[in-house]
Amino acid sequence: MSADPKLRVERLQAWFGDRHVLRDVSLEVPASSVMAVIGPSGCGKSTFLRCLNRMHELVPGARSDGGVFLDGEDLYRRGVDPVLLRRRVGMVFQRPNPFPTMSIRDNVAAGLKLNGFRGTLDEIVERCLRQAALWDEVKDRLKAPATSLSGGQQQRLCIARALAVEPEVLLMDEPASALDPVATAKIEELMHELKERYTIVIVTHNMQQAARVSDYTAFFYMGELVETGATERIFTNPGEQRTEDYVTGKFG
């Protein structure tokens, strides 16, 4: 992979209490690419994702060890403010989770307001809604509650909200699993556009989706990274039998 990856993970381990759920994971994600994280239920995909922006440590009793580097900077070193870090490494969750009492516009602006932003929000709101491919559908009703949107629209609103604070990396934990095929296709299309500016790591259970949207794939099994590489190779010529069995649907 590239000499200067956007994200570099070195010997990452994670626990919930005594339960060791990630073992010795090392990989790199090049800038402006999409990496799909795949593997059977419980293999540690979400935990891995949550270690990348230090959300894992928010769970009581959870801890991790090893290194995560963003542009070479160790995210776990003393002095790194996890709240600031989570602006650089944003996250979109499985279920759309807009702030239910806020309007569409205020949802996009929420992170900026929290950061004390005082400029003109309208331009940023429009830019982010356009980037999230939602602008045309909501431009005439920005003051409507976010809950008046469909599930797929709400998920794109959450993507717009994540983009508003100008992250460098976007983590997506099964972002389309609660959506219908049309909304899923929109999210996948959007990922192609977003990767020009952002580095994306997506957890997905859907092999076709991984093959469609990602440049690189990482296959996890029981807390270990079995194999990572270019998506095309992982799907057509994997180096490990377990990867082949998983991507061809023999288990999982």
Which stretches of the chain bind ligand ATP, using CB under 6 A? 16, 19, 21, 39, 41-47, 59
Min separation Cβ 44 and ligand ATP, Å:
4
Whichever of 59 and 83 has its CB closer to ligand ATP, that residue is 59
In whole angstroms, the minimum distance from the beta carbon of 204 to ligand ATP comes to 9
Residue 7 phi, psi dihedral angles, 5° rounding: -120, 135
Residue number with CB closer to ligand ATP (47 or 228) = 47
Smaller CB separation from ligand ATP, 33 or 47: 47
Instruction: Supply the minimum distance, in Å, between the C-beta of residue 21 and ligand ATP.
Output: 4
Q: What's the closest the beta carbon of residue 17 comes to ligand ATP, in angstroms?
A: 7
Cα 218 → chain centroid: 14
Residue with Cβ nearer ligand ATP (133 or 178): 178
